[in-house]
Structure 1
Amino acid sequence: MSIANFMSQDLITVTPATKIFDCIDLMKEHQLHRLPVVANHETGAQQLVGLITEGVIQAALPSSATSLSVFEANYLLNKTTVAEIMLTEVTTVAPNAQLEDGIYLMRQQDIGVLPVVAEKQLVGIITNNDIFDAFLNISGYFQGGLTVSLIVNEDQPGVLAKLTALFAAAKISISTIMVLRQKTTIVEVRLQTQAAEKVSSLLKDQGFNIQSITVAPKIA
């Protein structure tokens, strides 16, 4: 799955000339924690030039130890523009990059957001919440049915083929298959059925080692 499948495209942006007070209002209104900063290119494209975040704004606020009055502090903030405090070194990702590439970048850079850029134009943004939503989607969480976890003691070619053939013969549809390889290999299969006893019998008859079988309702 690519970044383009899960990025947000309905973007709220600001320009370098935007006042910080206006950024704060936008963040509150749209419940956002960061805003891409764009400059209109001569071609009409929105070119990413920076990023403004809650943390950056907080760092720019006058300290509580300052001798400035509230009126004076507010006056300074109202005069301050995005260009004066925005982050200019912004890690980005391409829309055709794999989702896991984006996750790796976020982990490596210890950041919670990646602007998505194609040919220098801002086309989207992907955040931690988008990653969580992507995992729920890919794992088939909302489809309900049975979640079967199998322990594979001898990980070898053909295990998944045998498993899918077994369910196909029983006319049981598979929603998703995920494989976790650690000290032991765990195969988790989501099935479009709630017949736990039938599935358990099928798997045991074929020698599969069942770790768990859970029934989950479909989530609208």
Structure 2
Amino acid sequence: MLVEEIMERNIHYVGPEASIWDTLMLSNEKRVRHVPIVEDGKLLGIVSDRDLRDVSPSTLVDGDTLLLRSTKVKEIMHTNLITVHPLDAMEDAARMIYDHRIGCLPVVQEDHLVGMVTTSDLLHAMVDVMGVSQPGSYIEIEVPDQPGALLEVATIVKEQNTNIISLYITPGKREGYRIIVLRVATWDPRAIIDRIGQAGYTLLFPVCFLNQGGVK
């Protein structure tokens, strides 16, 4: 899945000459945690709701309001930005947010801001990709880290006339092994689980089948 498929295109932004007060009001009104600073379509910087709170007194009086109205947002914006392209992979965007401990990524194409991706956007997309909202059963299988294991597991599911809703692979806890995580379109995966055991693979989940015949 690409960034352009999950990004928010309706962006709430301000220009560099906007006041901190106007930016704060926009953040509160639109309930956005990050406000891009844009001029002629080009991204200049970004401020977060935390940045705005840090420069805002906890209790506003007339003099404080005047200061916020007279101070330009460009004076507090962050300009050392980490961005993504619309055609970057969703996984790369997630890794960048995780590695840099940030809450959003501006999406830039040809120097122009075209969207925003937040942690909420990524979580929503991951839920869709993993098929969590679709009815089915969740299975974890430990397999040797060698060619052919994934094909054999997929063939077992196909032989039971069942669709795979989602599939991903993670490193195994034992050296030389991987874990295949499946969500299959059936409420009763016993036949699939039996065949997995007969093929010599180790079932990790669901645990209720671990002590039944045919499963290691």
TM-score higher than 0.5: yes
Q: Distance in 1 between matches of 2:184 and 2:172?
A: 23
2: distance between equivalents of 1:87 and 1:179? 37
Any idea what the Cα deviations from partners look like across 1:125-159, whole Å, max 9, x if unmatched? 1111112112212111111201111122x221101
Aligned mates of 1:86, 1:130 — CA distance in 2 = 23
Q: Which residue of 2 aligns with 1:100?
A: 91
Q: In the TM superposition, what whole-angstrom CA distance separates every residue of 1:105-138 from its partner, at most 9, and x where no partner exists?
A: 2233221111000001101111111121122121
Q: Give the aligned residue type for 2:155.
A: A
Shift of 1:62: 4.8
Partner of 1:169: 159
Maintained 8 Å contact 1:149/1:187: yes
- Residue 203 (str. 1) matches residue 196 (str. 2): yes
CA–CA distance in structure 2, aligned partners of residues 189 and 135 of structure 1: 14
Match of residue 63 from structure 2:
72
Which one of 121, 127, 133 corresponds to residue 130 of structure 1? 121
The worse-fitting range, judged by mean Cα deviation, of 31-40 and 102-111 is 102-111
- Give the fraction of aligned pairs with identical amino acids, expressed as a percent: 27
Amino acid in structure 2 at the alignment position of 1:143: Q
Given residue 193 of structure 2, which amino acid in structure 1 is its aligned partner? Answer: S
- Cα RMSD for the two superposed structures: 1.9
Q: 2-side partners of 1:100 and 1:31: how far apart?
A: 26
Over 3 Å counting, the alpha-carbon distance change for 1:147 and 1:168 in structure 2 is same
1:2 matched to 2:15:
no
Normalising by the residue count of structure 2, what TM-score does the alignment of the two structures yield?
0.86
Question: Which structure exhibits the higher relative contact order, with contacts defined as CA atoms closer than 8 Å and separated by 6 or more residues?
Answer: 1
CA contact (8 A) 2:38 2:45 kept: yes
Unmatched 5+ residue regions in structure 1? 41-45, 215-220
Amino acid at match of 2:81: V
Alpha carbons 1:115, 1:125 under 8 Å: kept: yes
Distance in 2 of aligned mates of 1:134 and 1:56? 28
1:14 aligns with 2:14: yes
Hey, what's the Cα distance between the residues in 2 that align with 1:167 and 1:196? 9
